Amino acid sequence: MQLQNGSAHQEPAPDAVPIAVVQFAPQTDPAANLAALREHLRTAAAAGAKVVLAPEYSMFAVTRLDERVVAIAEPLDGPFTTGLSALAAEFGVYLVAGVVERTAPEATRISNTLVAHGPDGARVAVYRKVHLYDAFGHLESDVVEAGPLVAPATFTVDGVMFGMQTCFDLRFPEGCRRVAAAGAQVLLLPAQWIPGPAKVDQWTTLLRARAIENTIYVAAADQCLPRGAGASMIVDPAGVVLAELGDEPGVLTAAIDPAHLARVRTANPSLSLRRFAITERVSPEPAAE
């Protein structure tokens, strides 16, 4: 298993929060995925991580979504999410991972959901993906219901606020800006970034852009090959890549340093200088027949 460490240009402050990003290849067996994630968590915890980020669809991964995803979905008190809670408690970390959620017993579509558990195993945040992957020949909306437009999902660790977005959300800067405007200092972004021409270039460019424009740390956990493009990374608020992976499984670590963030925001106060607000876009009503 590859472990890569990253650090800012200066030694991190004593109040820095160590984080880890897990890159692996989830399959169609949730129990096996949980077992694989446990081994990566062991590595992350041994490296001192307090927050560990796993990919989108860590519970169940296929190249194209279909009825299999609907059939495997479970509520947030189901066995997979309960297993995530147990892993967070076992290793004493905050754990964020993507699950396939059934929001109602009779639901015919699922929710693409991120769940964060604390070191006591308690659920601390939930985010349901807002922007669905109806692009590049895929139609996530065929089997996934878009998440509600609610306040950004955040949680705080040692005074550092973490916010969450998922995969295709990365292409919508206003969504990430809402997270930063809510006070988050770190954006956690699990993904299953489907491989394709120029996709890795787009991924890495967008991750660094979201960090720079919001003066925020960005930690991105992608699936590795064959269903994800890999290239997971941790980026500092000036756009410097602190740690990154190729397309193989591995664990990245870096420190979230509030002092470094403050220095960047003093030099570049773009958040406080912004002139435009973000407003919800109301979808048009369907045409009458």
| Alpha helix (H) residue ranges in the chain | 30-46, 67-72, 79-91, 173-181, 199-214, 258-267, 270-273
DSSP single-letter state for residue 167: G
Return the number of other C-beta atoms located less than 10 Å from residue 27's C-beta. Answer: 13
Residue 11 pLDDT: 61
Average pLDDT over residues 29-46: 98
Average pLDDT, integer, range 247-259: 97
Tell me, yes or no, if the pTM score tops 0.75.
yes
Q: Is the pLDDT of residue 63 over 50?
A: yes
Confidence of residue 104 (pLDDT cuts 50, 70, 90): confident
Contact 186, 219 (CB under 8 A): yes
Would you name the residues annotated as active-site residues? 56, 129, 167
pLDDT at residue 13, rounded to an integer: 74
What digits encode the pLDDT tens for the residues 144-192? Answer: 999 999 999 999 999 999 999 999 999 999 999 999 999 999 999 999 9
Q: How far apart (Å, rounded) are the C-alpha atoms in residues 150 and 127?
A: 9
Q: Peptide bond preceding 30: is omega within 30 degrees of 0, i.e. cis?
A: no
Residue 280: what pLDDT?
Answer: 85
Amino acid at 171: R
Please say if the pLDDT value at position 248 is more than 50: yes
Kindly list the structural domains of the chain, giving each domain's residue range(s) and its CATH number in brackets, ordered by start. 15-269 (3.60.110.10)
The rounded distance, in Å, linking the Cα atoms of 112 and 127 is: 9
pLDDT single digits (tens) 88-100: 999 999 999 999 9
